[in-house]
Amino acid sequence: MADAVGNKASKDYGVGVPPPDSGGFPIKGAGHLDWGMQHRLAQMFSPASGNTVMLAFDHGYIMGPTSGLERLDLVIPPLAPYVNVLMGTRGAFKTCVPPTVQKPICLRSTYDTSVLFEDMTVGGGIAIDMENAVAMDAVAVAVQTFIGSAGEARSLELLARTVDAGTKAGIPTLGVVAVGKDMARTEQFFLLATRMLAENGAHVVKSYYCDGFEHVTHACPVPIVIAGGKKLPESEALTMAYRAINEGARGVDMGRNIFQADDPNAMAQAVGKVVHEAFTDKRAYEFYLDVKS
């Protein structure tokens, strides 16, 4: 077994060197996947930019009715035109998102403990199996993982089993890096966690932005999308998205910084300008102010 003690520190991330050729398929690390899996990934990532804006609205699965998501039925459908993928729970989709909203969906496929629980990093279990994810027409399923925390081993097991089932069904798995409240959001942590998820089979990894993020994206052999985290002023959230994209993220899976914005629809569009149209953060913020009602 590899021994962490005495390991040489990693340093050469090949920044600026493109990833290996994916056999003409434009998504990092996905060149050898089957047609169905590639077809679903191609619905997640824009063919033009290669990037994605995912709207995360799965917060209620552990937090209850978060600010901005008190009424999913009123908030989510109007935002759908401005994003590439909707990411939520089975219950949220079935009750609050009409199937006529023609937008690819990523289903959160694991449950976790609520915010009332003393240690949320113990993790949970499977909330929806692959057969039912297929029935929901999901283009991806999301598994929460707890690297460095109590639920690490259990969540990696859930990730691996989900990747196995998804491979048979042609559904890619989004591995989500959770950060416990006592853990530092450092380059070293995200290097470790994102790489572990990719090597354990995740086809896309959701992480947070951090200093040294360029190393994180280059060391991870699959696309990374960033979560937004707690609500920031709109200009700062756009700066975070801009930096992440410029440092190698292939998109965002953002929630609160969109649906808690003063104008969620304008914010979703402004984030899209950064992610897909190479807007600077400053230009995207000006766009936000122009569009904001």
To ligand R5P, the closest distance from the beta carbon of 6 in angstroms equals: 34
Among the options 11, 94, 103, 206, which is catalytic?
A: 206
Q: Which of 159, 143, 160, 133 is nearest to 206 (CA)?
A: 143
Crossing angle (nearest 10°) for helices 72-79 and 264-277: 40
Which amino acid, one-letter code, is at 235? S
33's CB contacts (< 8 A; 6+ apart) are 25, 41, 172, 203
Structural contact between residues 107 and 56, judged by C-beta atoms closer than 8 angstroms: no
Of 162 and 257, the one with the shorter C-beta distance to ligand R5P is 257
Q: What's the min distance (Å) between Cβ of 254 and ligand R5P? A: 4
Q: What is the DSSP letter of 153?
A: H
Nearer to ligand R5P, 57 or 279 (CB): 57
Q: Pick the closer one to ligand R5P by CB: 178 or 284.
A: 178
| C-beta of 167 vs 256, nearer to ligand R5P | 256
The closest alpha carbon to 88, from 238, 75, 155, 202, belongs to 75
Spatial separation of the C-alpha atoms in residues 192 and 220, rounded to whole Å:
9
Q: Which is nearer to ligand R5P, 214 or 253 (CB)?
A: 253
Contact yes or no for 86/57 (Cβ under 8 A): yes
Site residues (CB under 6 A) for ligand R5P? 56, 58-59, 144, 176, 178, 227-229, 253-257
Residue 199 neighbours by CB distance under 10 Å: 11
Q: Tokens for 30?
A: 């996905």
In the complex, least distance from residue 87 CB atom to ligand R5P, rounded to whole angstroms? 6
CB 67 within 8 A of CB 55: no
How near is the Cβ of 288 to ligand R5P at its closest, in Å? Answer: 17
- To the nearest whole angstrom, how small is the minimum distance from the Cβ of residue 229 to ligand R5P? 5
Residue nearer to ligand R5P on the CB measure, 97 or 227 = 227
Which residues on adjacent β-strands are paired with residue 141? Answer: 107, 173
Q: CB of residue 250 vs ligand R5P: minimum separation in angstroms?
A: 16
**Alpha helices, DSSP H only, in the chain?**
35-44, 60-63, 72-79, 90-96, 130-135, 152-169, 187-199, 213-219, 234-246, 256-259, 264-277, 281-291
> For this structure, is 206 an active site residue?
yes
Residues recognised as catalytic: 206
